[in-house]
Amino acid sequence: MSGEPIRVLVTGAAGQIAYSLLYSIAKGDVFGKEQPLVLVLLDITPMMTVLEGVVMELQDCALPLLREVIPTDKEEVAFKDLDIAILVGSMPRREGMERKDLLKANVKIFKSQGAALDKYAKKTVKVVVVGNPANTNCLIASKSAPSIPKENFSCLTRLDHNRAKSQIALKLGVTSNDVKNVIIWGNHSSTQYPDVNHAKVNVKGKEVGVYEAIKDDSWLKGDFILTVQQRGAAVIKARKLSSAMSAAKAICDHVRDIWFGTPAGEFVSMGVISDGNSYGVPEDLLYSFPVVIKDKTWKFVEGLPINDFSREKMDLTAKELTEEKETAVEFLSSA
């Protein structure tokens, strides 16, 4: 437990996702049991009192890896010398709010945070955007931080990935560990495409394709996809709050894979810049792809055959992302 502590920023740090996330990070679930940390917690000024309570609780956990906790409402403090930035905070959608208004409010936030990353963070910083609309927020942050490589920015679609994995496992009565290589293509929205054409499942010690194992194509092409696409809304309907525990777990999975790499023979889903992809997705979109990660660097999984059913779904979500991007870029010039 010697060694330099790494600096990890969590924004929206007084919110409910962060409340589930901070303990996992601080106790070593993400960066390993040997890696000391400085946690930087950013939120808006009205949340500072609540944030003090979170700091007290982190102190009261008495965690050996946690060297320092820095609560702040100032970007120049929050973004200084960061190794990792987890951008959870965003403007939530209020009732009666048009998606366009939501985009406008978030462009302002992520333009500002992107500029702060550019100015204060290490150039090697890894940036993970969780706050919705996550893909477009991530693209705006990246465009606002020209001195940080585009590849260092990713957005969270691991929650959707985990939801897909778990639905398959439940259907087959296996554990989610027995299911691998599901894919989420596209936007973290209800147009995302959960694809199990390339997924494998371990049934009684034998690895088989998911389509072969489930033997119910109409479920896989229908209810399965809808369940994953609409799961966030289902949780809100039941809990009257959005997914927090599962979102925090997915963030941990996403960041741990960036840090330590993906297991051999497995790939994961994350929203990354589409430049140079071989799947016909337009350039300069922040789109969820299957990736493998090694030495903290992701690469597209290449050469997966795409059938017509998949092609249509992949194009639909790309179209939505292109429209979001165009709206956001208009706002960017005026923000």
Question: Pairing between strand 37-42 and 6-11?
Answer: parallel
Has 216 been labeled as part of a binding site? Answer: no
Has 301 been labeled as part of a binding site? Answer: no
Cβ–Cβ contacts within 10 Å for residue 197, how many? 17
Has 187 been labeled as part of a binding site? Answer: no
State yes or no: is 198 an active-site residue: no
**One-letter amino acid of 238:** A
Has 106 been labeled as part of a binding site? Answer: yes
Has 7 been labeled as part of a binding site? Answer: no
Has 232 been labeled as part of a binding site? Answer: no
Please state, in angstroms and rounded to a whole number, the distance separating the CA atoms of residues 148 and 133: 21
The DSSP result for 85-136, as a single string, is EEE---PPPPTT--HHHHHHHHHHHHHHHHHHHHHHS-TT-EEEE-SSSHHH
DSSP code for 158: H
Distances (CA, A) of 178 to 194, 208, 248, 319: 18, 10, 22, 33
C-alpha 287 chain-centroid distance = 11
Please state, in angstroms and rounded to a whole number, the distance separating the CA atoms of residues 285 and 187: 10
Please state, in angstroms and rounded to a whole number, the distance separating the CA atoms of residues 316 and 103: 19
Has 93 been labeled as part of a binding site? Answer: yes
Q: Scan for tokens 């088989």, then name that residue.
A: 208
Please state, in angstroms and rounded to a whole number, the distance separating the CA atoms of residues 158 and 216: 25
DSSP code for 61: T
Residue of 161, 188, 198, 254 marked catalytic? 188
Has 12 been labeled as part of a binding site? Answer: no
For residue 20, list its beta bridge partners. none
Check: CB of residue 181 under 8 Å from CB of residue 150.
no
Instruction: Write out the catalytic residue numbers.
Output: 188
Indicate the annotated binding residues for substrate: 93, 99, 132, 163
Numbered residues of the known binding site for NAD(+): 43, 106, 130-132
Annotated binding site: 43, 93, 99, 106, 130-132, 163
